[in-house]
């Protein structure tokens, strides 16, 4: 059975389809992960005996169905650019040049604007204006945050009130 994610349009995005796009550029393993704050990730593993690094890619099974086809393709190319640029490059000039050369937008991060219900957060927060925020974990520091939509910097006026969902 093929592992897949169902998209909003009802079409299926399988790992084989993602791997086919990746394989046009690099030959690395591809898998789903459970990320809720990023679309994809490039991974490197160092073999301490041989000192060789091997790469792999993972994509969020949770967020993938909520992305447009253009966002999916850009995410795949974003992660492929990381593999081609190397594990030390990050989002530097070389990575950006490779990403644009592959057909990506050359930007560091996509705008993750996923409905709160899609990620089933453990903590749901609401600001005085009614905007919602989500957290999977709550620390003492993350309990006192203000709404980024209402104020670009911290403001007591727009403090978020948190409720644990489960």
Q: Which CATH number fits domain 4-102: 2.60.40, 2.40.160, 3.30.2010, 1.10.3470?
A: 3.30.2010
Report the distance separating Cα 17 and Cα 42, nearest Å.
18
Rounded mean pLDDT, 1-7: 49
Instruction: Compare 6 and 32 and report the one with higher pLDDT.
Output: 32
Length of the chain: 166
What's the pLDDT score for residue 13? Answer: 64
pLDDT at 5 over 70: no
Report the distance separating Cα 134 and Cα 94, nearest Å.
34
Report the distance separating Cα 155 and Cα 119, nearest Å.
26
Cα 71 → chain centroid: 11
Q: What are the domain boundaries of the chain?
A: 4-102, 121-164
State the pTM of this model. 0.68
Instruction: Compare 64 and 118 and report the one with higher pLDDT.
Output: 64
The most confident of 56-65, 96-105, 131-140, by mean pLDDT: 96-105
pLDDT in tens, 140-160: 887 889 998 998 899 999 999
Beta bridge partners of 124: 134, 163
pLDDT in tens, 52-75: 889 999 999 888 888 888 889 999
pLDDT at 36 over 60: yes
């Amino acid at each position: 059975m093929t592992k897949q994610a169902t998209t909003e349009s009802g079409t299926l995005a399988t790992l084989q389809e993602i791997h086919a796009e990746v394989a046009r550029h690099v030959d690395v393993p591809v898998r789903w992960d459970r990320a809720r704050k990023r679309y994809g990730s490039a991974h490197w593993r160092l073999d301490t005996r041989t000192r060789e690094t091997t790469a792999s890619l993972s994509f969020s099974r949770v967020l993938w169905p909520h992305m447009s086809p253009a966002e999916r393709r850009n995410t795949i190319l974003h992660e492929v650019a990381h593999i081609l640029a190397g594990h030390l490059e990050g989002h530097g000039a070389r990575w950006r040049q490779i990403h644009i050369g592959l057909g990506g937008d050359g930007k560091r991060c996509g705008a993750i604007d996923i409905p709160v219900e899609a990620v089933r957060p453990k903590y749901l927060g609401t600001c005085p204006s009614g905007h919602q925020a989500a957290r999977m974990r709550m620390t003492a520091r993350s309990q006192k945050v203000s709404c980024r939509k209402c104020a670009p910097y911290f403001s007591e006026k727009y403090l978020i009130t948190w409720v644990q969902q489960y």
